[in-house]
Amino acid sequence: MPQRNLLPENFALRRVLEREADDLRALYAASIAANPLGFIQDLGHHGDIYERGIAFQQNFGELIALFDMDELVGMGALKNKTFDRVELCHLHLHPVYQGQGLGKAIAEELLKLAEALGYQTVELHVTATQKAALRLYRKLGFIETRRQVYDVKGQSFDTVFMDRHFFDHPESDTMI
């Protein structure tokens, strides 16, 4: 059964072009700043998001962005961990666009890409303060595997680790 497109007509998911790198950086910085309980606020700690995305793409991963016409409004990435395991990371969406299923569309596209790249497991981590993200990941079939509290730069981050596995059966294209 074909999957319906969750994106309205004026939206597109694609790689970020070099000329759009500053827009990506601005969205990332604003998203980090808007969630001080969920992210370390020192952007230097995270590294340049565009350069990280290029590195992901060069190492069997991906960085995609969501565009409303020509405006970059969301993003997400896949970071290679091992030959059969990839991390879904950097899922950020401009606040104006939240609650419309667009974050889900980005995540689903990343899951399709992970499967197409041959990964068996998609992992992620998210701070426990990010309730909407946790609900989304659970709806997408991610299962909590562990929790750990990290103390970084004077802050504590209760971090939830989750996995989603692809079946490895030729007769099934379903995920668990």
The structure tokens 């790249």 sit at: 117
Instruction: Write out the two tokens for 100.
Output: 């419309």
Instruction: Write out the two tokens for 64.
Output: 């995609």
Q: What is the pLDDT of residues 8-52, one digit of tens each?
A: 889 999 999 999 999 999 999 999 888 877 777 677 777 899 999
Q: Is 92 helix (H, G, I), strand (E, B) or coil?
A: strand
- From the list 67, 92, 94, the residue with the least C-alpha distance to 77 is 92
Distance of CA 122 to the CA centre of its chain: 11
Residue 3's pLDDT is what? 47
CB 119 within 8 A of CB 95: no
> Could you tell me the residue ranges of all domains in the chain?
11-165
CB 48 within 8 A of CB 25: yes
Half-sphere exposure of 117 (CA within 13 A, CB side): 26
pLDDT grade for 169, boundaries at 50, 70 and 90: very low
DSSP class of residue 169 equals: -
Kindly compute the dihedral angle of the four CA atoms of residues 25, 31, 32, 37, in this order, to the nearest 10 degrees. 180
Q: What is the pLDDT of residues 128-158, one digit of tens each?
A: 999 999 999 999 999 999 999 999 888 899 9
**Which CATH superfamily includes the segment(s) 11-165?**
Gcn5-related N-acetyltransferase (GNAT) (3.40.630.30)
Half-sphere exposure of 98 (CA within 13 A, CB side): 9
Contacts of 98 (CB under 8 A, 6+ apart): 132
- Supply the pTM of this predicted model: 0.89
